[in-house]
Amino acid sequence: MEQQLTLQALVQALEASSSQESDTLRKQGETQLESYEAAENFHSLLQTVFIDPNMTLQNRWIAAIYFKNDILKYWRKSSSRVISAQEKNLIRSRIFALTTEANKQLNSQNAIATARIARIDFPGQWPTLFEDIAQLIQTASASNNLIQLSNLLNILKELVKSFSVTRFGAARTAFQAAASGIVQLIGNLYIAISQSWMSQKDNLSNHLALMEVGYLALKITGKVFAEGYQRVYQDPQAAKIFEKITQHFQGYVMVYNTFQSDIIAKHIKGLGKIFLNIFERQPVSFILLPSSMSVLQTYMSIMQEKAQVIQSIGNEDEEAVSEEVAEFWEKTVVQGLKLFSKLINYAYHNGSVSIRYRSVDDRDDTKAAHALLEKDLFNEQNIRGMLGLLLNNYLKLTPRDLESWKNEPEEWIAEEMKENWDYQARSCAQMVLVNMLKNFKAIVSPILIEFIQTTSSGNDILLQDVAYNVFALASSAPFENVSFDQMLNDVFLPRGYSQPKPNTSEGEYLKLVRRRIAIIISQWVCVTGQCSAQSRIKIYEFLLFCLNPEDPLNDIVIRLEACNALKFTIDEWDVSIDDFLPFLSTFLTRLFTFISTSLSSMESKEIVLQVISVIINRVEKKIVPFSELILQALPALWDESESHYQMRCVILQTLANFVQATCESSTQTYSISVPMLKVSVDPESPLNTFLFDDALPLWQALVESAPSPNDEILSLLPGLVQIIKQKTENLPIELKLLESYVFLSPESVANLSYELFKIFVDYIPSMNTESMTWVTTILNLLAAQLPLDAYVKPLYDTGLLNLLVTSLAAAISPITNVEILCFFSRMACNDVNTFVQMLDATQLPSLEVINELRQKNTSRSSFINLDDDDSAYAVPIHITRTVVNPDSHLTHTPKYTTVLGLVISQWISRFDNMGQPRDRKLNVLGTAAVLRTARPESWSVLADIFVIWQQLLDEATETDVGDAEIYYCYDDYMSTNEYLTRTSRGRDPAGPSGTGLTPEQQEEIRLVHENASPETKRRRRLLDSDPVHSIVLKNYLRESLFMFEKSTSSETLSTVDPGILQTLSMVLGLS
């Protein structure tokens, strides 16, 4: 029976929950409210509280918030405790009862709650929603009740916002059907309000409340324009209202010139957002609306008239406008520039907008929009005008820029490198210029080249800075017949090396030049075919010159830009590192001196450390002589950046690169790297959230580079097991790290096998094939390096073996089955008697258990059972993979009663799923090992076993050590020549040194071995001892057959087809 709740009880609970005197009372109140959620009429009583003006404001406020939040939980029919239909009707009937309330905060909560209800109930249970609110708005407007009108518009704003994110369904359709009516009502309301106060421009301060209401109506109208129509330009009433709005846009600009009011500024910026939103949602509609070109003309006029105002930001001239006004005009200009940029990208298909034709009319309208842009906006005259405006005004550094450069260099350069085109006119102008250069290259390129040539010899320092900037920006669409190599050597480097004349102010100009040359290098050095190897060497020399702290022109800004340029210069795949090595020592010395003595901002230090990290990554082992310099600097930076997590991420990245570069010498980093790593990956550490992702590569590098097992690295292993247990999104990376630990110290991993195998048992049922490969790889590596008794008991006790057997029977994935069979084959080759005993102790999975496992994997595959009586032959159907019938090698349908029988049948039936010959050999070795035990399970399938033996023998031509070329895969730790060397092992080729390789190829192999990481060497050693490469197949099969014959009667082999026996005997050399 539901709890009976009274209004008085609810009010008492609300008062208690907001108590400031007693924590106990407040918690009791919160608990009481939670218990009331299941009570009948709880939510309608909450509504009663917050719409009642006689209640205390505190109780009303808490009730409104509680009501708004609970709507999300209990309004839907699928909710755990759904609100009854009767209570919902009562709530909806009073939803507008608060519109006369003067408290804006209460109305805001009610508006959000209304939108949440409408999102669910409209149009089904609330078809008259927009008619209801429209009628109330008309009544409030007629009575000139601004409070009620403002509250109703606020509700409508939330409704429109809510339906705007609904992209399909009945609500979207009904919203679009209501859009025209909303625009006519609210758009005309906005027009009437705006005309009312604009007619009294001399006394605007008395109309601020009315202007706020008008602004709210404007926002709603603009939102419906963008989201409520598919083609807003086809609605005559909407087009007419849009035309009025554009006229107001011009009027607001004129008004603001004489009356700098915040509300006028809001109208202008609000209209800018509306224009951008309409274009983003309906680009063709925006272009074809009758007044869209006048909007662009207005923006162009603003950019022309306010260029000097924006350029004067930071100027201390008394006649200059206030900084607040100048920043307003800058934001307005940015909106205009962004609109122009979007139009350029749209018109010329630069990837910003995808055009989809839903009908012939759409295609024709799109063509008309393009034609209109080309004719009225992007004609040559307008392009030249826009270019001139950008070059002579908006690309210039302002007095504010120069002042910030001088007084706050680190903060200023950090902002410059972020390219804040969302709110900085200069950055946005650069974006427009680049787009114009890409799309109007024939017109723009000659103008820019002429501008660069003209200004280079002029006296305007700031315009010369613009010229250099233009050349840097042109890297995205290089000028024809202009060579960066030539410009670098003939123009940029000579000017960059220039020194000021004594007793002149030329130094400030040369600072601008050096900075721009560093930026030009950053932009152009990556352009294919533009920078020769010789020019790159000259760039190294110039950047070293710019990093020289003894030159007074090389201030912090110059040196930081030089650091950035250096990063781009060396971080290219085709860079000759040998050319860079002569400069390495000086660069590192100056970079570390710079970071430790000249910089105070963590953002600046991060820039420099990123460059050092890239250098370490590129020069690899050549960094070893500078180890002391690096390891002395990093701990101090770590301590200094305690609250700057991004800097600590870069430190971890730098350490990871250093560890990889130093390989065996990385042990010298343990005193630094291990403590940093521990605090970064510890789930209890506050740093874990911010540093974990960057700590994993360092951890991987430390394990891969460890020359041998050591206490420092192995002490981290238990923590890794706990991290794997947490089921994070980094699981593949964590399992890859665990694999490296298996290579480093398989015994240490085996010591944790109980806990690790329990985790695998938890994971496997829901793992996809790719993730499962990581698990089976780890198991195979353990089996390849350890005796079976090192892990067999945990394998059995944790249920992992049973789960692997069940996976085989359920046939979740052919790939997974092959991987499991390879693991079983390794165990059988290691100790077949223990392996067989272990399988004997395992129960054959029941059909119920198999189906349960399949159910957990239904997200990956569909299943078809080929044999209702034998669950082992259910195979997955994958859309992209041809499924091989596992019975393809069977001469009859087997009926097994033991797990060993299942495994043997899988070895045979999955042979065709084994794509790699080395997997086929491994599994053939497994069958041969089991055959040595002469178990009855193998007797009935002897013919099938001999068939797969014969197939592999026919396929592989082994050397006298049991190796063959087909057993190898070209992997990430073998060069091509080393691969050739390995695959010729045991042969007697005629080439030099008996390898068949040239001296150059042998030298390459030597270098590969010399530079190999310790883990790569461990992998190679394991490869050498792998049974696939070290057991002679014929000999092993021959011995297995002898042992089988010795342990069974002669009649056993007589059941095999004589032809099969004869062929096998010939191949094995038995006949």
Give me the percent of the chain exceeding a pLDDT of 70. Answer: 90
Would you list the DSSP string of 720-757?
HHHHHHT--TTHHHHHHHHHHHHHH-HHHHHHTHHHHH
Residue 864, phi then psi, degrees to nearest 5: -130, 130
Predicted confidence (pLDDT) per residue in 787-806, tens digit: 999 999 999 999 999 999 99
Predicted local distance difference test score (pLDDT) of residue 887: 40
Q: Which amino acid is at 292?
A: S
What span, in angstroms and rounded, lies between the C-alpha atoms of 866 and 886? Answer: 10
Assess whether pLDDT exceeds 50 at residue 353.
no
CA-to-CA dists, residue 748 to 259, 751, 755, angstroms: 77, 5, 13
Q: How many CB atoms lie within 10 A of CB 984?
A: 18
Mean pLDDT of 938-963: 86
Provide CB contacts within 8 A for 721, sequence distance 6+. Answer: 738, 752, 755, 756, 759
Predicted confidence (pLDDT) per residue in 654-705, tens digit: 999 999 999 999 999 999 999 999 999 998 888 899 999 999 999 999 999 9
Residue whose tokens read 């189906």: 851
Residue whose tokens read 């809510």: 162
- Element at 877 (helix H, strand E): strand 874-877
Assess whether pLDDT exceeds 70 at residue 874.
no
Burial class (CB in 10 A: 0-12, 13-18, 19+), 906: buried
Enter the tokens of residue 102: 């003067």
Classified as helix, coil or strand, 959 is coil
CA-to-CA dists, residue 696 to 77, 474, 649, 797, angstroms: 45, 39, 11, 31
Residue 863, phi then psi, degrees to nearest 5: -130, 145
Would you list the DSSP string of 584-643?
HHHHHHHHHHHHHHT---HHHHHHHHHHHHHHHHHHGGGGGGGHHHHHHHHHHHHHHTTT
Enter the tokens of residue 502: 């004594």
Predicted local distance difference test score (pLDDT) of residue 832: 93
Cβ 565 vs Cβ 543: under 8 Å: yes
Provide the pLDDT confidence category of residue 870 given band limits of 50, 70 and 90.
Answer: very low
Provide CB contacts within 8 A for 571, sequence distance 6+. Answer: 614, 618
Predicted local distance difference test score (pLDDT) of residue 361: 66
Provide the pLDDT confidence category of residue 304 given band limits of 50, 70 and 90.
Answer: very high
Classified as helix, coil or strand, 863 is strand
- Higher model confidence: residue 243 or residue 422? 243
Length of the chain: 1071
Assess whether pLDDT exceeds 90 at residue 294.
yes
Predicted confidence (pLDDT) per residue in 199-220, tens digit: 776 677 778 899 999 999 999 9
Enter the tokens of residue 916: 């790699």
Start-to-end CA distance of the chain, whole Å, equals 89
Cβ 558 vs Cβ 511: under 8 Å: yes
Provide CB contacts within 8 A for 887, sequence distance 6+. Answer: 866, 873, 893, 909
Cβ 694 vs Cβ 652: under 8 Å: yes
Please tell me whether the peptide bond between 123 and the residue prior to it is cis, using omega within 30 degrees of 0: yes
Nearest by Cα to 937 from 846, 849, 843, 836: 836
Mean pLDDT of 421-429: 87
Q: Which amino acid is at 783?
A: A
Q: Residues 633, 636, 641, 647: what is their CA dihedral angle, to the nearest 10 degrees?
A: 20
**Least confident piece of the model among 159-173, 212-226, 869-883, 976-990:** 869-883
Q: How many CB atoms lie within 10 A of CB 1047?
A: 13
Assess whether pLDDT exceeds 70 at residue 814.
yes
Predicted confidence (pLDDT) per residue in 734-759, tens digit: 999 999 999 999 999 999 999 999 99
Provide CB contacts within 8 A for 9, sequence distance 6+. Answer: 36
Predicted confidence (pLDDT) per residue in 100-134, tens digit: 999 999 999 999 999 999 999 999 999 999 999 99
| 865 strand-pairing partners | 874
Domain regions of the chain by residue span: 1-94, 483-575, 577-705
DSSP state of 891: S
Predicted confidence (pLDDT) per residue in 33-72, tens digit: 999 988 889 999 999 999 999 999 999 999 999 999 999 8
**Least confident piece of the model among 832-836, 930-934, 938-942:** 938-942
